[in-house]
Amino acid sequence: MFTQYMETILKQLKQILITVMLMLFIVPAIAQPKHARPLKTKQVIISRQLADFNRLTAQANVSFIFPVGFKEIKAPNNDDFSFDYAMELSGKEFEIWFHIKPEKADWASYVHDLNNPNAQLANPDSLYKDMAAAQAITFTGEKNSPVRVLPQHVLARYNADAGRSYMLTLLDLPEAKHFKYALLVTLHKNHTGTIIAVCFTNDKGPDFFKNLKEASNCIKFKS
């Protein structure tokens, strides 16, 4: 009787020992943190056009952030329309073309030749006016499109020193996809560069200015 009792006790102790051993080896293994798999990040593909544009913006000390809702389109680059980058608002009749003119090298040359009587260099800080006027003529065929000098609070928003804007009624231009109207904006930073942005639309109503607002903060001079 006693022997049978001891066998039962030993059998129970053996089961307890096996359970303890399992707890010692299995539980720590479960508790060990699993190595997290690296998250797959979406690869951003930069087009050749955008890469070239980014180089220009860097030379002109300009910051450009691609706005949400837009997509890249090919910018026209010919004798009449020389632009560096273009984009459209998806699902809307709205496009923006950009031209960047870095001017640090021009300013350095101008300063270097100030005392040279044979040099005939125009002050680079005044050329933005002629650039904007010439572009307005190309789009409209008119020499005297109404021009607005940008107020100081607008210039401050874009870290610019000077600027002008034109609201244009366009010629029927295949290059401009037969858009009817455009807002041409020129921003200039002394000794640094000029930004020209042309915003195209077929309707000058509230939707145009709503669309314009979507991209209004995408480009400016760095402070």
| pLDDT the model gives residue 15 | 52
Residues of the chain with pLDDT under 70: 1-44
| pLDDT the model gives residue 34 | 45
Q: pTM above the 0.85 mark?
A: no
For 29, 155, 184, 216, the CA distances from 20, given in Å and listed in that order, are 14, 76, 80, 69
Whole-number Å distance between alpha carbons of 145 and 169: 9
| pLDDT the model gives residue 158 | 98
Helices (H), the chain: 2-31, 48-59, 104-112, 127-140, 152-157, 206-215
Nearest to 68 by CA among 204, 172, 187, 213: 213
| pLDDT the model gives residue 28 | 41
| pLDDT the model gives residue 120 | 77
Whole-number Å distance between alpha carbons of 202 and 93: 7
